[in-house]
Chains A and B, each alone.
Chain A
Amino acid sequence: MENLGALAILLAFTLAVYSIAASIAGKLKGRPYLVVSAERAVYAIWFLLSFASALLVYALLTDDFRLAYVAGHSNRALPVLYKFAAWWGGQEGSLLFWSWILASYAAVVVYTNRRRFRDMMPYVTATLMVTMAFFLLLIGFVVSPFKVLAVGREVIAAPDGRGLNPLLQYWAMALHPPALYLGFVGFVVPYAFAMGSLITRQPGDAWIHTTRRWTLVTWGFQSAGILLGAGWAYAVLGWGGYWGWDPVENASLLPWLTATAFLHSVMMQEKKGMMKVWNMVLVSATFILCIFGTFITRSGLISSVHSFAQSPIGYYFVVFLALLIAGTAWLILDRLDYLKSESQLESVLSRESSFLFNNLILVASCFAVLWGTLFPVISEAFTGEQITVGPPFFNRVNIPIGLFLLLLTGVGPLIAWRRSSLESLRRAFLWPVVGAAATAAVLLAAGVRHFYAVMCFSLCTFVAWTIVAEFYKGARAIRSRTGKNWAMAVVELTHRNTRRYGGYVVHMGIVLMFIGFAGAAFNRDTTEEVKIGDSIRLGAYELKIAKLDEGRNPNYSWHHAAVEVYRDGRRLDTLHPERRFYFASEQTTSEVAIRRQLNHDLYLNFAGISDQTQNAVIQVYIFPLVSWIWIGSAVLFFGTILCLIPSKIKLQYARTEVVGVARKQAPVRPS
């Protein structure tokens, strides 16, 4: 059976190579038959990879431990959900999963454009298939998911598998890789269209309009993947942190930063015909960083707590990345004349300028994170010593960047194109600035002295005010014309221009998340050894240890504490932190107890048992405002979905006087 799976992958690889050749030959020689044949190959590849994936999942669900992969990542006692999730739990399987997602995306792209863009589609197909061929090369020839365990020439089956690391047996971790992959793989589509457009010198910006929704959805998945990972780290790892600037975390952040920059700078090209070269560079950089992130994560290049063993596939990635970078750079440089800008920057106080700074700062952050992540590699190459930099480096650079970005989020949408008069600036920003100053004053008066926290809260007020004002002004105008109530007016307003108002909602989500981030400046914690009856005090809480017990079951042994939470003498709740030791994987996990509230989380971790006294070691944390990060995330996704909804009024030609040309009323374009 595994032979069928391996065959399907090899067949798919052959078809991918055929597809590249047929697309390009068909285009250059004017043979539409070859182009269509190449597109059929894309569908066939999807079918073959679905077949291979189904075989692997079947093997996982039926505990087929003849397969090395199944034995390595699943075991009999594992719940069904995680047996399925083991598909992406290890190197080979996750590469197959990646390939299947890529094949699915490619099939959708080819199908939806089967009658359009005939000029550039062959190159789009070819670009997609080059990437496909690379990944199929890996799973076909280097790290096959269908390898069997063997002794001599006989295939053996392990009695039971090594199972999934219990740290990963958490719902967010089951979803985190799929979300991340849907995001990372998806960026090949805008990149492919950009390359197709560049190669054929398409007039106009068709590649941007066509891929706008793709880019947004992909970005949404990337964000989801990153935030799920953070949520998992917070709830499972026991130290209450959601981001550690670990190389693997950074690898997922890098393409997100350039993708965010890209989402904004394409608006400049759409509205003003500016930044064409820059957009090509950004979309290529995002795609290359996606591949690069995969490379860092899997190759063991940089040691990390997520670190995976050093693997031969690293070299393949390096070659592929080098070819990608070289090819893309040559193409862009060769067609610089085609990418000439149509307008210029006129004033520092303009929307163009704020977009430019937005891009500058996001790319600067990307560069800084990249530099910090690769520091051990670079320092070793130059000085012979391997030097790492830690969270202090990343925070020092990224906190000011984040705050500046927050400022731009408020300024950008309100400032006029080209040049903004002082009068417009006053109208837009007077009250928000007053609000921000008031926030700062209140905080300082209350004794808060943490500089960045005060800045952050003030800026949050500033941005929130601008967003609410936008909705208010717009809804008021609609109300006065149509007489609807406020709620309906806001809905109508948003529906008329979902890109703009959906974008505002996304920005609001970011503001809420920053409020959550700022809370970390006020974290408190304490660690104490306790026995039954002891109390721990932190902040306004008194925590009484009511029960301490232990036990075991076939899966794991456990230590558990029942902790009663008191505040001002009143009992609020009982929390149950636990520590487990899983036998199969010899892995300890802590089941953290969290009491989540809007103003702060009370977080209890059963850290261990003291060797000397056999007392329990309990850690108590108070994390102010951290729930706002998750609330902000939800708002962010809601906003993203809003942006995807088509606007009510689509590209209608307004009845307006055109100066200099005979008065004409153009027909309404069918939508």
Chain B
Amino acid sequence: MILFVAALLAAGAVLFILLVRQKDLPEPELISPVEHLEERKARIYDGLRDLTFEYRVGKLSEEDYQRTKAELQADLAKVQAEIEAVLKAGPAPRPVPASAPLKPAPAGELFHCLQCGAAFERPMKFCGECGQPMRGGEA
């Protein structure tokens, strides 16, 4: 009896970890190359909102408020410039996430990314593999 349960456990564990089907694999993430910069931008906006609240509530002097606001806005401009630089920069393609399997090309029309060559079944604005803007190339 115990032997049976033991065998069941061992077999179950081994089968569970080995029988991974194609559809169990996660879909490739669409990571925008500027995602972390967008997050940073959101946080600066958060900080600006906080700052305005603190000023309204009377905690900050006029001098501190204006100075900090100017600094935050300068930060914002810097981040925005960085975002635009990355989007414009084009081919220094991001390393493809390792877990993104290259889909075999199905029959029919395909849309190709001009930067890295990956193919998709529908027109995309940003390539799902390298993150660069696609220029709507057709097969």
Q: Are B64's CB and A420's CB within 8 A?
A: yes
Which single member of A44, A651, A657 contacts B13 (CB below 8 Å)?
A44
- The complex places the Cα of A4 from the Cα of B4 at a distance, in Å, of 10
Question: Is A330 part of the contact surface with B, judged by Cβ < 8 Å?
Answer: no
Closest chain B residue, CB of each to CB of A42: B17
Q: Which of B40-92 contact A (CB under 8 A)?
A: 40-43, 45-50, 53, 56-61, 63-64, 67-68, 70-71, 73-74, 76-77, 80-81
- The complex places the Cα of A43 from the Cα of B32 at a distance, in Å, of 30
Stretch at the interface among B95-103, B107-115, B127-135: B95-103
Q: Are B57's CB and A206's CB within 8 A?
A: no
Chief secondary structure at chain B's binding surface: helix
Given the known inter-chain contacts A32-B101, A651-B46, please indicate yes or no for A658 contacting B73, CB distance below 8 A. Answer: yes
Q: Are A114's CB and B39's CB within 8 A?
A: no
Q: Which of A417-475 contact B (CB under 8 A)?
A: 417-421, 423-424, 427-428, 473-474
User: Residues of B contacting A44 with CB < 8 Å?
Assistant: 13, 16-17
Closest chain A residue, CB of each to CB of B81: A661
Q: Are A473's CB and B26's CB within 8 A?
A: no
User: Residues of A contacting B68 with CB < 8 Å?
Assistant: 416-418
Which single member of A8, A118, A474 contacts B97 (CB below 8 Å)?
A118
Q: Are B20's CB and A37's CB within 8 A?
A: yes
Which single member of A119, A497, A656, A659 contacts B50 (CB below 8 Å)?
A497
Shortest C-beta distance, B79 to chain A (Å), equals 10
Chain B interfacial residues counted at CB < 8 A: 55
Q: Which of B17-47 contact A (CB under 8 A)?
A: 17-18, 20, 24-29, 31, 35-37, 39-43, 45-47
Q: Are B45's CB and A473's CB within 8 A?
A: no
Q: Are B16's CB and A427's CB within 8 A?
A: no
User: Residues of B contacting A378 with CB < 8 Å?
Assistant: none
Which single member of A38, A115, A659 contacts B27 (CB below 8 Å)?
A115
- The complex places the Cα of A11 from the Cα of B20 at a distance, in Å, of 19
Given the known inter-chain contacts A11-B9, A44-B17, please indicate yes or no for A658 contacting B80, CB distance below 8 A. Answer: yes
User: Residues of B contacting A3 with CB < 8 Å?
Assistant: 2, 6
Closest chain A residue, CB of each to CB of B12: A44
User: Residues of B contacting A7 with CB < 8 Å?
Assistant: 6, 9-10
Closest chain B residue, CB of each to CB of A206: B36
- The complex places the Cα of A414 from the Cα of B2 at a distance, in Å, of 65
Shortest C-beta distance, B19 to chain A (Å), equals 9
Q: Are B77's CB and A661's CB within 8 A?
A: yes
- A7, A18, A115, A203 pick with most chain B CB within 10 angstroms: A203
Question: Is A396 part of the contact surface with B, judged by Cβ < 8 Å?
Answer: no
Shortest C-beta distance, A299 to chain B (Å), equals 32
Question: Is A329 part of the contact surface with B, judged by Cβ < 8 Å?
Answer: no
- The complex places the Cα of A344 from the Cα of B98 at a distance, in Å, of 36
- The complex places the Cα of A37 from the Cα of B41 at a distance, in Å, of 37
Question: Is A382 part of the contact surface with B, judged by Cβ < 8 Å?
Answer: no
Chain A interfacial residues counted at CB < 8 A: 69
- The complex places the Cα of A332 from the Cα of B112 at a distance, in Å, of 40
User: Residues of B contacting A202 with CB < 8 Å?
Assistant: 36
Q: Are B48's CB and A27's CB within 8 A?
A: no
User: Residues of B contacting A203 with CB < 8 Å?
Assistant: 36
- The complex places the Cα of A659 from the Cα of B59 at a distance, in Å, of 25
Which single member of B49, B56, B76 contacts A477 (CB below 8 Å)?
B56
- A32, A500, A652 pick with most chain B CB within 10 angstroms: A32
Given the known inter-chain contacts A33-B20, A423-B64, A654-B48, please indicate yes or no for A204 contacting B77, CB distance below 8 A. Answer: no
Which single member of B18, B35, B70 contacts A204 (CB below 8 Å)?
B35
Interface string of A477-509 (1 = CB under 8 A from B): 100000000000000000001001000000000
User: Residues of B contacting A38 with CB < 8 Å?
Assistant: 17
- The complex places the Cα of A654 from the Cα of B59 at a distance, in Å, of 21
Given the known inter-chain contacts A15-B17, A204-B35, please indicate yes or no for A271 contacting B47, CB distance below 8 A. Answer: yes
Q: Are A51's CB and B9's CB within 8 A?
A: yes
Closest chain B residue, CB of each to CB of A414: B59
Shortest C-beta distance, B45 to chain A (Å), equals 5
Closest chain A residue, CB of each to CB of B78: A660
Q: Are B20's CB and A40's CB within 8 A?
A: yes
User: Residues of A contacting B6 with CB < 8 Å?
Assistant: 3-4, 7
Closest chain A residue, CB of each to CB of B39: A204
Given the known inter-chain contacts A32-B99, A270-B43, A654-B45, please indicate yes or no for A421 contacting B20, CB distance below 8 A. Answer: no
Question: Is A622 part of the contact surface with B, judged by Cβ < 8 Å?
Answer: no
Question: Is A30 part of the contact surface with B, judged by Cβ < 8 Å?
Answer: yes
Residue contacts A-B, CB under 8 angstroms, 13 given: A7-B6, A33-B20, A37-B17, A37-B20, A41-B17, A119-B97, A421-B63, A421-B64, A473-B57, A649-B49, A654-B49, A659-B74, A666-B41
**In the A-B complex, the 10 residue pairs with the closest CB atoms:** A204-B36, A423-B61, A32-B99, A118-B99, A660-B77, A651-B42, A473-B57, A30-B98, A40-B17, A203-B36
Residues in chain B within 8 A of chain A (CB atoms): 2, 5-6, 9-10, 13, 16-18, 20, 24-29, 31, 35-37, 39-43, 45-50, 53, 56-61, 63-64, 67-68, 70-71, 73-74, 76-77, 80-81, 97-101
Known pairs A651-B46, A654-B45. 18 more at Cβ < 8 A? A1-B2, A4-B6, A15-B17, A30-B98, A32-B26, A32-B99, A33-B25, A36-B24, A115-B29, A118-B26, A118-B98, A206-B36, A271-B43, A473-B57, A474-B57, A652-B45, A659-B77, A661-B81
Residues in chain A within 8 A of chain B (CB atoms): 1, 3-4, 7-8, 11, 15, 18, 26-27, 30-33, 35-38, 40-41, 43-44, 47-48, 51, 114-116, 118-119, 122, 202-206, 209, 270-271, 414, 416-421, 423-424, 427-428, 473-474, 476-477, 497, 500, 649, 651-654, 656-661, 666, 669
